[in-house]
Amino acid sequence: MNEIDIRLTRYGSRVATELTTAALADLSARYGGDGDTTPIQPGEFDPPEGAFLVAYVDHEPVGCAGFRTFVEDETTAELKRMYVAPEFRGRGVAKALLLAIEGAAREAGRRRIWLETGTAQPEAIGLYERCGYIRIEDFGHYKGYPDVRSFGRDL
């Protein structure tokens, strides 16, 4: 695989919308419904309060991830919309995106990062655990759902 190019992108841009639509379709196939009904405002991903990154391979957008500042604690970033197109999975794109998001959050002054995922995403859980994330108390929109798994790590 060629080099992964990761770029800061506006959340509401065409490329971000295409990737997040694909992410929600993937979640819908795994969990049913709309995939993820977490309320998101596009401005939440604007620096310095957040960031939205798109990964490119051969100039083709293949994945995305964003962080927004956790409302209850401004030192915590919340990872959202982590997604890699199926044909590019297993090639290091997700790890590159995750490291880039962690770096952006750290540069914005965040000291930790949290995320929600679920039992229907074992590959995501594996990635997070390999990257040093540990289970934390469930939080956020899906707190209390039986299939939710929350993870976090210090930056």
Domain layout of the chain by residue ranges: 4-154
**For residue 17, which phi and psi values (nearest 5 degrees)?**
-65, -40
Of all residues in the chain, the percent with pLDDT exceeding 70 is: 99
Evaluate if residue 141 carries a pLDDT over 90: no
Please tell me the number of Cα atoms within 13 Å of 51 on its side-chain side: 22
Report pLDDT digits (tens) over 23-41.
999 999 999 888 788 888 8
Predicted local distance difference test score (pLDDT) of residue 1: 59
CA 20 to chain centre: 10
In the three-class reduction of DSSP (H, G, I as helix; E, B as strand; rest coil), residue 68 is classed as strand
Please indicate whether residue 41 or residue 4 has the higher confidence score (pLDDT): 4
Select 4-154's CATH number: 1.10.357.10, 3.40.630.30, 3.40.50.20, 3.30.470.20. 3.40.630.30
pLDDT at residue 66 is higher than 80: yes
Cα 89 from chain centre: 15
